[in-house]
Amino acid sequence: MSTNKDSIMIVAGTRPEAIKIAPLIWWLDKLGVDYIFIWSGQHYDYEMSKIFFEQLRLPEPDEYLDVGAQAQDVAQQVALLIQRLVSTIKRRNPKIIYALGDTNTTLAAALASVYTAKPFVHDEAGMRSFDPSMLEENNRKMADAIANFRLAPTKIAVLNLLYEGAPPHTIKLVGSAVVDALLYVISHKLLKEEILNTYELKPSQYLVFTVHRRENLTDKKLYQITSLLTEMSNKLPNYKMIFPVHPHTRKRLEETGLLKTLSFCNNIVLTAPLGYFEFITLIKEARVVVTDSGGVQEEAFILGKRIITLRKITEWPETFILGYNHLTDLNDINEAIDIIIKSVEAPEPIPPQLSTCPLGDGNTGQRVAKLLQKIAETNIERESKGDGYPLPRLTTSIKDLALCFKNGLPFVYESSEECTNKLCVSRENLTQEEMFQIVKTDWSMIDKILGL
């Protein structure tokens, strides 16, 4: 059944949002559901926005809010985003507003929904790094607090929401749409040789490196990152490091004079940000991935790569729990180098099976499109309390699961009795297979549970 034009407003504005909303847009189009698509322009360079529209078949946005290049700082960016979104919402009068993730665009969409009394659907709900110094952690918590519907990518995200007191009927387990986008790319004939030849790389003989998080761009962290890269370059002379540089990182590396240092290392390949097809091909053929990106951790995990995450914490704990991901916050470069070298030397892990993959099964876009269609057809209002859909039952009954934390990382136990101390529980006694059993999701059940 088709809904009125303008009934669902989709708000996005950064590279990861362009990638992750693509599967939703494909499915809304396939189902004949109308929507209005707003691009905030938080990311505005061709390599950070338009290229993904072209490669992932995104339509021209109905409105382009053009905030990116105009804002001087985060506060002004968020203020501009809210002002422009509020006036667009008032003019377009949608029934519901949808946004994904943890960017300033996401937060502004959530707040604009409050100021215009519109119901808000937050996708990627329940992701937590438990690091309040990250802008993104604050953005996603606020968006979750405001949301009427919380679409969670993982079982752990559902549990995080429940532990914070979100009403169960507002939470839906849907998976992460990055799995859909990734499958779309690898189902195409990848121009593997052409891409590897462009950068003079050989399969499995290089590492992919990305860094862009604000907290990693201080002078101190940039010096540490540069030391890490030059050490990697010395200690792994038979490997190349390909580093597609985010525009913010490039600006900061130029300001600190470190870009020059890096450009002198002949096995470090610095490039502009890459298109999705090119970037996924590089990950697929890489030996190891070193990153601080959320999306790249997900993709490297799905492709069965070893990941070294340049943070002390991750909002994708499944990748860590299952042994694919190592965390290092760069304060000990020798330790970080050691982990990287060990990862390069270790055999490649087996990629997770999609039917039970903790991050999704590739059907998230379809699931979210159908849920949005249902929500738009229901007469809900921002103030309404009880109009959700029933909580998707998980593979294990929710009341039997216990979520525990060790060093800030959540762990889920099958039975709450097993978890005696809810604040600090060791995972030493669990085998990797047992851990997989705990985080894996039986996606074949989910659509039935959601009534889709």
For ligand UDP, the closer of residues 172 and 212 by Cβ is 212
CA dist 382 and 110 (Å) reads 11
Q: Can residue 104 be called a binding residue for ligand UD1 (CB under 6 A)?
A: yes
Binding segment toward ligand UD1, per CB under 6 A, in 14-22, 90-98, 221-229, 326-334: 14-22
- Binding of residue 15 to ligand UD1 (CB under 6 A): yes
**Mode of pairing for the β-strands spanning 149-152 and 171-173:** parallel
Q: Out of 31, 167, 199, 247, point to the residue binding ligand UD1 (CB under 6 A).
A: 247
Residue 248 interaction partner, one of ligand UD1, ligand UDP, none, beta carbon < 5-8 Å per kind: ligand UD1
Please report how many Cα atoms fall inside a 13 Å half-sphere around the Cα of residue 422, on the Cβ side.
7
CB of 417 to ligand UD1, least distance (A): 38
* Paired sense of beta strands 120-123 and 36-39, if any: unpaired
Q: Which of 249/441 has CB closer to ligand UDP?
A: 249
**Which candidate in 122, 169, 188, 212 is catalytic?**
212
212 is known as an active-site residue: yes
- Selection from ligand UD1, ligand UDP, none that 274 binds (CB < 5 to 8 A by kind) is ligand UDP
What phi, psi does 396 have (nearest 5°)?
A: -115, 145
**Residue 66 or 231 having the CB closest to ligand UD1:** 66
Single out the segment in contact with ligand UD1 by CB under 6 A; choices: 41-49, 81-89, 121-129, 373-381: 41-49
Residue closer to ligand UDP by CB (options 36, 108) is 108
Residue 252 CA: distances (Å) to CA of 43, 214, 218: 17, 10, 8
45 binds ligand UD1 (CB under 6 A): yes
- For ligand UDP, the binding residues (CB under 6 A) are 15-16, 19, 178, 210, 212, 244, 273-274, 276, 279, 293-296, 299
104 or 363: CB nearest ligand UD1: 104
Whose tokens are 């009954």? That residue is 397
Report the relative pairing of strands 8-12 and 36-39 from DSSP bridges: parallel
Q: CA dist 15 to 1, 48, 52, 98, Å?
A: 31, 5, 8, 17
Determine the Cα–Cα distance for residues 2 and 227; give it in Å rounded to an integer.
Answer: 56
- The candidate with the shortest Cα–Cα distance to 99, out of 43, 139, 59, is 139
| Counts of helices then strands in the chain (DSSP H, E) | 18, 15
Torsion of CA 40, 43, 44, 46, to 10 degrees: -130
Which of 48, 67, 147, 435 binds ligand UD1 (CB under 6 A)? It is 48
- 45 CB contacts (<8 Å, ≥6 apart)? 247, 273
Are 119 and 90 in contact by the 8 Å Cβ rule? The answer is no
Restricted to residues 61-90, the positions that interact with ligand UD1 (CB under 6 A) are 68, 77
Closest separation between CB of residue 49 and ligand UDP, Å? 11
Q: Which stretch binds ligand UD1 (CB under 6 A): 44-52, 125-133, 196-204, 401-409?
A: 44-52
- Which is closer to ligand UD1, CB of 81 or CB of 435? 81
**Residues involved in catalysis:** 212
Catalog residues that contact ligand UD1 under the rule CB under 6 A: 14-16, 42-45, 48, 68, 77, 102-104, 135-136, 212, 214, 246-248, 251
